[in-house]
Amino acid sequence: MRIIVAGWLTYAGDAETCSRIITGGADHIAASRAEHGCVAYNWAVDPLEPGKIHVYEEWESEEALLHHFRDPSYLAMRTHLDQWELTGFGVLIYSVNGVEAVYGEDGWPRREIFGVTLTD
């Protein structure tokens, strides 16, 4: 089953501080992306809320995520992030039972997702 890790972290400072955090963590992000079972791994500066970083990860399985938590790159990333003052945290783990495309064959957003149909 696919696993999504998504949420946000806020730091004392502004968007420039967050950019420095992400740029300085590029090696940790790259190492995480190279781990077995990693489908996606990204940090992004929020364009509207200074000091906020969004986190998005996708893993092939629960086991892959649990291995990530024990990987040296994860531990190094935690040490890296501890250099700045964390003021808020909201990151959660989501299980994914199915995956469907956003767009249909016609190139438009789907009108049905996982059996639920939009009625006008």
Element (H, E) at 88: strand 86-96
Task: Work out the percent of the chain whose per-residue pLDDT is above 70.
Answer: 99
Domain 2-117 CATH assignment equals 3.90.550.40: no
The pLDDT tens digits for 24-43 are 999 999 999 999 999 999 99
Q: How far is CA 79 from CA 21, 46, 72, 82, 118, in A?
A: 12, 22, 11, 5, 46
What is the rounded CA–CA span in Å between residue 94 and residue 26? 24
